Chain A
Amino acid sequence: MKKTKKTFIALTLLFSFSFPSFALSWSGVIDNTTKFTENHDFSEPGLEQSNGVYLSLRTPLSKKGSLVFDAEALYKYNLKCAFKTNTSSFKNIVDCDLFRLSGLWKLGNGTLNFNAGRFFVNDSNGIVYNQISDGLLLSYTARKIDLKFYAGYTGLLNRMNVSMTENALVSEENDNFYRLCPQYIPVSIDFSYKSLFNKHTLGIQGEAFFPLSEKLTQKTYGSLYLKGPVANFGSYDASFTLGVVKFEKIMLDAKADFNYFVSNGMITAGLEYLSSASDSMLAFTSITSRTVTNDSLFAGGIIPKVAYMYAKGKLYASVTGKGIIAMSDNNTKFHGIDASGTVVINVFSDLQISGILDAFIGFYEAKNASNYAATLKAALQF
């Protein structure tokens, strides 16, 4: 008992002496999300309400600030009401979504960045793994190249706050406060050359996800991506991702976007292909849950997209329209149209209000999958 007490005091002293010589800053965010939903014939109105509070702190651990510790904890609740059936569910969520030691050092002509702990990880083309994760990220950035290595573990994350595709393998009915995510060991390496024809970026990325549970399957992804400007008026972004499940079946995702810049705005035209289930291929699935479309029946196909985005001063607005062309069992069908509109206004520098309208209008057999949603968000930073 005495030993435990001494250890506790020693650790407390060590902790308190390691910080005070450097600035400790803290901040927080309170947010509100209210979402009204409707089904295809407007007969099943629903409401989703969420409020959260996030508290974060940050302290440099060296005088030059090259070594920094930051952390964030959150509490939020999700309330879902279905008015037709007069049912509701209420869930509390607590999480530590940031607990990171990071460092930045000059190395040769570039910088070496080190991150360890829990933090947001995103892959270069934004398709496979984009979520909070526990692990170690080493990256080297120079003028012409970027090199990243990441290794981590997903089994300690809160699946109520981290949306992984295979969260669905477990019933979420009794979820409350903190429930563990599927156990994967993600390992990824990413190399990009940023001076192709002087301004274009060519990258290659490999990601492997090793399961630590029999319910899960090993997945490996390889991506090739290319992006850059088109003269002074536009830009493009293209990627091709090949996924292998248990080294048996493959899945594909190929996408290309072209952006044309107009005054204070940008017009985007794009196309994405996701493989569907067939004899030789699997429907493309990512590790992080990814909402490609609001069509609940979509399981592979082609999605052409047009979008317009406007940004000036304190106002951001965008409209996006997607056509859903489903491809399964050698059958290609036009499923429907997915449309969304977003307006974001920064009322003050620390208060943001946004509104989002989503609609999926299904055709043919997808008609009953049509759905509509209106979301109002507000966030206050302090």
Chain B
Amino acid sequence: MKKIRFLLIAFLISAGAGLYAADASVTFVSGKVEVQRGTKWVPLQKGDTLAKSDTISTGFQSEAKIKLMDSVLYLGPVTRITLEELATKGNTDNVNVYLKTGAARSQVKHVDNKRVNYQVHTAVAVASCRGTDWIIDSNNVISCLEGIVAVSAYTPPSNDNDEASEDSDEKDGKDKSKDGEEETDSDDEDGDGDSEEAASLSSDDGILLTANYTLQVSDDGVVSAPVNTVVKNANSIITSVTTAATQGVVNPAVTGTPENPVVKPPVTEQTGTVIVTLELN
């Protein structure tokens, strides 16, 4: 009996040591930045700590920078996120952020002997990346600034009992399928010099998005082909005012035939969830 009790205590101690909650800290605040505590919104200041389930909101012309373990999350104006997961298990950091609205930029650093699973939700996509600097917004547009991001459609977890997700009803309504959401450590299929950074990514994780490229996930879970960020900017400027008949047609003005009409990508409903998964070794 004593032996069993000893083993049980030893097991609990070891399990407790292996999985513990980690904190996040606010390192920069500009303008109105608040955290939801219960039903109240409390202003955030530099140095404040955040924990799992906290919802953070920025106002107009406001910004914030949050240190999430070894990663840094920049929040743009009019942005709301929820820290759904913030824990360390063994030598793996798990960060799961739900982006409800606005835009967030994530910078994830390589840390020796450490693995990081980093997730950001909207409703329809999943992206996995490693040692990467990227921006995601609530229109499901993901722009990679450095490293590699793998993006695919998002399927919510089947045991969806996360109390932090106040918008789970929104997610449930989506018919989503995700190919290769699972983290894999298979070899890089890239073959163009990114193999070191993409060591834990393969095309099975989704469409690989390299630096200076942008893509969008539609509400139907369709991941668009990556477009160079400059080309995408040019398209969005040129096609900001256009007729309905020319919406959705590839803009030739930035593909070498400026004599053709300029057009605009199709207007999509701007709701949804994107998950970005990062792995750090």
Contact = CB atoms under 8 A, between A and B. Distances in A.
Contacts of A349: 240
B49 interface: no
Interface residues of B, number: 51
| Interface residues of B, dominant DSSP | loop
A202 to B, nearest CB: 13
B241 A380 contact: yes
B168 to A, nearest CB: 18
Contacts of A229: 192, 210, 213, 226, 228
Interface in A89-128: 97-98, 104, 106, 109-111, 119-120, 122, 126
Nearest to A194: B225
Contacts, number: 152
Contact of A318 (B190, B206, B253): B253
Interface stretch (B22-30, B72-80, B98-106, B244-252): B244-252
B190 A198 contact: yes
A27 to B, nearest CB: 7
Nearest to A268: B256
B227 to A, nearest CB: 9
Instruction: Give the residue among B234, B240, B245 with the most A Cβ atoms within 10 A.
Output: B245
B61 interface: no
Contacts of B253: 318, 342
A270 interface: yes
Nearest to A25: B267
Interface stretch (A180-188, A230-238, A362-370): A230-238
Contact of B230 (A66, A97, A261, A291): A261
Given A199-B192, A232-B212, A350-B241, A120 B248 contact: yes
A352 interface: yes
Contact of A98 (B244, B252, B258): B244
16 contacts: A27-B244, A29-B242, A54-B245, A98-B245, A120-B246, A143-B152, A197-B192, A198-B203, A198-B208, A265-B230, A266-B231, A292-B259, A314-B237, A344-B238, A346-B237, A380-B241
B230 A58 contact: no
Contacts of A374: none
A311 interface: yes
A176 interface: no
B269 interface: yes
Contacts of B243: 29, 54, 56, 72, 74, 97
Nearest 8 interchain pairs by C-beta = A56-B244, A311-B234, A97-B245, A291-B259, A98-B245, A352-B241, A316-B237, A311-B233
B162 to A, nearest CB: 24
A198 B258 contact: no
B256 A111 contact: no
Contacts of A344: 237-238
Interface in A292-324: 292, 305, 307, 309, 311-316, 318, 320
A218 interface: no
A65 B269 contact: yes
B255 A70 contact: no
A349 B241 CA distance: 8
Contacts of B245: 54, 56, 72, 97-98, 119-120, 132
Given A106-B221, A126-B252, A143-B179, 15 more contacts: A65-B269, A72-B244, A72-B245, A97-B243, A111-B220, A111-B222, A143-B223, A195-B203, A199-B226, A235-B228, A261-B228, A268-B256, A309-B230, A318-B254, A381-B241
